[in-house]
Amino acid sequence: MESSLNEHYFLGHIHDVLMAQSKIPTNTMIQGFSKRSQEEKVDILLNNFKLPSSLKQTLNSHLHKNLQDTYNQFSENTVSNFYLPYGVAPNFIINQKEYAIPMAIEESSVVAAAAKAAKFWSRLGGFQTKVISSIKEGQLFFTSDWKFGELKEHMPYIHTALIQGITDLTQSMEQRGGGIVDMQLIPITDIDDQSYCLQVHFETADSMGANFINTCLERMGNHLCTILEDKNKTKQVTIDMAILSNYTPSCMVECTISCPIHSLGAYAGNYTSQEFARRFEKAVLLAKHNTPRAVTHNKGIMNGVDAVVMATGNDYRAIEAGVHAYAARSGKYSSLTNITLTDELFTYTLTLPLALGTVGGLTKIHPLAHFSLALLGNPSAYELMQIIASAGMANNFSAIAALVTSGIQQGHMKMHLSNILFTFNASDDEKAKAFNYFNNHTVSHSAVKQFLESERHTDNEI
């Protein structure tokens, strides 16, 4: 009976899907969209989706009259540009060197928090950082009826032959200190006894290395088939895929801040420095042992990290994926920070994976990415890892300090007040009055609306 019901449900579901598909108006599907001009693309969107013609001006107003051809190369089907504010957090001291750090982000409180923390820690020795390792990984997945033990026995020969087969690809990278570092064969027994992964470890110097790694892996896949076929023509080898991994637990950076506990008074609010330090420690431990809290704790780190990653033309999506996977490496998602308190000393450490580049990609062809790297002194990829880790640490420290004292909303909503006023088309005079009023009142969307309505009602009565 249960089987019959399940079959009936399944067939009914298939019927619903087919009926829904039959109702899709295929004559409205857009053909050859990528070949149209920017203006034609916009007209198609406005007509097909019944959008007001005024939106055409909105899109066109965000085009750049001098650099649009450059921006068009970055993506596909471009109809406009989506701008983010480009801010700078000054006064960072990292390993005794001063930086002004560029941040591309829409949230003003992130830049403000980073700048405040940077200035505070600049008087206490700044941020101490080090690159733990800088190895990236690539994976060559294949299916074969070779036994794992047999493949393992041939690995020394396979290793040498694969390296020799891509010398033309690795020569330039090796001259810059990079290349293939190691490789290991891993059976994927969770699938079956014929699935394997050749895990290849790369050093890519100042390049993030994605294209280099993928090119090497694809060539290695072809060579692997030939090598194993020459060893035994009766056995089969099929390449499943060859791709870099954005999980980079061997490309790690560490950032530490440390000071006497009595020096924390500027962030302690109504607490003593000792009380503040203990409350800060408790917050860090909560993030270490409670997954929902850990996610938000780490997001506060990534506020700073992503902003600098974007400003320097790096891939924030790859960074996000790698960082959060690393945070869950034990099987339980946890925080990226550790704290040590003694009677007199506060020490806080952030450790995270950052696979970055300062050559290739957008780093030189995007005008602001180019400026960002110049502003930072044209750093190596290893130096950039340390700079970005410091930005993440600065934002995390500020967030935790706020959480354990006044609460996160007091500072955040004060910074957000400008955005709320903008949505209500507040005049300069109304903005000035609002900033003055909300110095001593809680900011919320409804409170700002009520304040402006009161102001405008008063003005109408005069």
Identify the pLDDT of residue 2. 45
Place of tokens 């949230």: 107
Residue 171: CATH number of its domain: 3.30.70.420
Within-domain flag for 77: no
Identify the pLDDT of residue 383. 99
Identify the pLDDT of residue 183. 98
Say if residue 59 is in the same domain as residue 121.
Answer: no
Structural domain boundaries, residue 420: 411-461
Within-domain flag for 53: yes
Within-domain flag for 83: no
Domain boundary among 245, 267, 300: 245
C-alpha distance from residue 27 to each of 30, 45, 210 (Å): 8, 15, 40
Is a pLDDT exceeding 90 seen at residue 431?
A: no
Say if residue 126 is in the same domain as residue 272.
Answer: yes
Tokens of 113: 């928090």
Task: Pick the more confident residue, 327 or 20.
Answer: 327
Task: Pick the more confident residue, 39 or 406.
Answer: 39
Tokens of 39: 């203006």
Say if residue 193 is in the same domain as residue 335.
Answer: no
Phi, psi of 461 (to 5 degrees): -80, -20
Do β-strands 128-144 and 251-260 pair in parallel, antiparallel, or remain unpaired?
Answer: antiparallel
Tokens of 398: 């500020």
Say if residue 448 is in the same domain as residue 322.
Answer: no
Identify the pLDDT of residue 108. 86
Say if residue 296 is in the same domain as residue 346.
Answer: yes
Domain boundary among 245, 277, 306: 245
d(CA 433, CA 451) in angstroms, rounded, equals 9
Say if residue 167 is in the same domain as residue 205.
Answer: yes
Confidence band (pLDDT; 50, 70, 90) for 439? Answer: confident
Among 339, 344, 349, CA closest to 281: 339
Within-domain flag for 78: no
Inter-axis angle of helices 381-403 and 273-289, to 10 degrees? 110
Tens-digit pLDDT profile for residues 181-219: 999 999 999 999 999 999 999 999 999 999 999 999 999
Within-domain flag for 79: no
Mean pLDDT of the chain: 93
Is a pLDDT exceeding 60 seen at residue 307?
A: yes
Tens-digit pLDDT profile for residues 11-60: 555 556 555 555 655 567 899 999 999 999 999 999 999 999 999 999 99
Q: Is the pTM of this model over 0.75?
A: yes
Residue 353: CB atoms within 10 Å: 24
Say if residue 382 is in the same domain as residue 278.
Answer: yes
Within-domain flag for 444: yes
d(CA 386, CA 130) in angstroms, rounded, equals 7
Tokens of 167: 């010398």
Task: Pick the more confident residue, 23 or 337.
Answer: 337
Say if residue 28 is in the same domain as residue 127.
Answer: no
Can you name the residues that pair with 197 across neighbouring β-strands? Answer: 141, 186
Is a pLDDT exceeding 70 seen at residue 5?
A: no
Phi, psi of 4 (to 5 degrees): -65, -40
Say if residue 127 is in the same domain as residue 138.
Answer: no
C-alpha distance from residue 374 to each of 363, 370, 381 (Å): 11, 6, 13
Say if residue 201 is in the same domain as residue 348.
Answer: no
Is a pLDDT exceeding 70 seen at residue 351?
A: yes
C-alpha distance from residue 332 to each of 7, 295, 324, 325, 329 (Å): 38, 11, 11, 10, 7
Residue 330: CATH number of its domain: 3.90.770.10
Number of domains in the chain: 4
Within-domain flag for 229: yes
Tens-digit pLDDT profile for residues 291-301: 999 999 999 99
Among 392, 278, 391, CA closest to 335: 392
Domain boundary among 188, 221, 245: 245
Task: Pick the more confident residue, 175 or 14.
Answer: 175
Strand ranges, E, within 188-231: 195-203
Say if residue 217 is in the same domain as residue 295.
Answer: no
Identify the pLDDT of residue 456. 83
Is a pLDDT exceeding 50 seen at residue 102?
A: yes
Say if residue 270 is in the same domain as residue 391.
Answer: yes
Give percent of the chain above pLDDT 70. 91
Within-domain flag for 260: yes
